[in-house]
Structures are given as C-alpha cells and as structure tokens.
Amino acid sequence: METGINDSPALTSADIGVSVNTGTDIAMDSSDVILTRSDLESIINLIKISKKTMRNIKQNLFWAFFYNFLMIPIAIGILKPFGISINPMIASLAMVLSSITVILNALRLRRIKTF
C-alpha cells in the first residue's frame, strides 16, 4: 500500500485522504492523514481515535459552556434578586477548575489502546 503522484488528486478530493509515510511527498502533502505504518489496521486505529476525539471535544465544550453559563451570571449578580450570589473570586476559581477539567479530559485521549 503505497501512495504515489497519481493518487494526489484523489486524496485531495476525498472526504478524508489517507496516505502512508512511505508514499511520495506530493501524495503526503495532498492527504489529510498520514499513517506511520503500512498496514490496514492503522485505518481501524484512525477511526477509533477520531471517534473518541470527537466525543472528547463534545464533552469539553459541554463543561466549558456549563461553567460559563452557570458562574458568569452569578458572579455579575444577575441572580442576586433570587438570593443567589457568589464572590467573583470564587467564580474565577470555578473558571480555573473548568479549564483544568477540560485539560484533564483531553489528556484521557493519551490512554487509547491501539493495535
């Protein structure tokens, strides 16, 4: 499985162009993904990792928006008429915790087992 010069137009027009690192430079430049091994199991790993990455991105967006949606209105006092208020310093600490949550969640991707 090697990609050559003739493959570069197809790699460019494909939804996801996949080439191997033993292919020609133009084919590797035209592809979206370059596999480091020349076996088909690498494509299975690619799909597995991409699905987990997309799920992780959605989780990170949820946590970032959750903290922002919850803490910013409370910190600026919008909910004070309802008796809900918080020190802005505590809200900023929650924002830091939000960032740490997102980072730790993203780091979980490093534990993906491949073939």
b/e per residue 48-64 (b: at least 16 CB within 10 A): eeeeeeeebeeebeeee
The predicted structure's pLDDT at residue 35: 80
Distance CA 68, CA 101 (A): 13
Q: Are 109 and 56 in contact (CB under 8 A)?
A: yes
| pLDDT tens track for 28-49 | 777 778 787 777 788 888 889 8
The predicted structure's pLDDT at residue 57: 94
pTM above 0.85, yes or no: no
What are the residue ranges in the chain where pLDDT is below 70?
A: 1-5, 114-115
The predicted structure's pLDDT at residue 1: 56
The predicted structure's pLDDT at residue 63: 84
Residue 87 three-state SS? coil
